[in-house]
Amino acid sequence: MDIESVAEALKNPKLNLMEQARLLQTLEPRKRSVHGLTLREIGRRVGKSYLWVRRRLALLQLPEEVQKAAEEGLFTPTDLETMFSYGKSRWNQSALRILKDKKKGLRTDRNDLRHKTTRKSHERIRQMIRYLMSKNIGGLPIRLLAWCLGRVDDKQIYAEVKEVNDDDSEEDVPVPGRVDHL
């Protein structure tokens, strides 16, 4: 199929995401000897953005279950944006999560798929210290949290780690400003 035919076919509002993806697949850049087009060039020639083209082609790499759901119209363009807003390694995971939520009648947004390991505020660290102390968990874990708050200096932490490990060596103590220990 030539690019003009694909561009014309993509104007049909009744096409689902998988039908759009299969049309684009006929122009996919891996077939350079036939068309010699990049995703950006395909997008420009069919009147769509690079991301629009990339997300639809990426659907073809997802599990069959997800592709079938897309074929049935379960996924919207917004779902695609959410699915592919993370690295390629998380596409399958996020697509399956969105599919599972849709089957339950739930809406999944980008924040639902984020790793919940964001930087903690000083207040949140203080809350964790109080919680650990209320559970009689002391020692190094609390000292490390206090270190994160700037209440304990590096030397005190190194000394406590040595004490816990019964270690007298100085060789593995990180030097501030040097990254090779991370």
Q: What is the pLDDT of residue 33?
A: 37
Does this model's pTM top 0.75? no
Least confident of 14-18, 25-29, 66-70: 25-29
Give pLDDT tens digits for 38-97: 888 888 989 999 889 989 998 998 889 889 988 988 888 888 888 877 667 777 888 888
Take residue 129 and report the two structure tokens written for it: 């210290």
Report the pLDDT value the prediction gives residue 118, as an integer from 0 to 100. Answer: 60
Q: Which of 85, 113, 141 is the last residue of a domain?
A: 113
Identify whether residues 17 and 98 lie together within a single domain.
yes
CATH number at residue 55: 1.10.10.2830
Q: Is the pLDDT of residue 181 over 50?
A: no
The boundaries of the domain holding residue 80 are 3-113
Q: What separation in angstroms does the CA of 182 have from each of 34, 60, 126, 136, 159? A: 48, 38, 25, 30, 19
Number of domains in the chain: 2
Share of the chain above pLDDT 90, in %: 14
Tell me: do 141 and 106 sit in the same domain. no
Picking from 57, 80, 113, the residue at the C-terminal end of a domain is 113
Same domain, 109 and 123: no
What integer is the mean pLDDT of 2-11? 91
Q: Within 13 Å, how many C-alpha atoms sit on residue 21's CB side? A: 20
128 neighbors 144 (Cβ within 8 angstroms): no
Given 113, 148, 166, which residue is the final one in a domain? 113
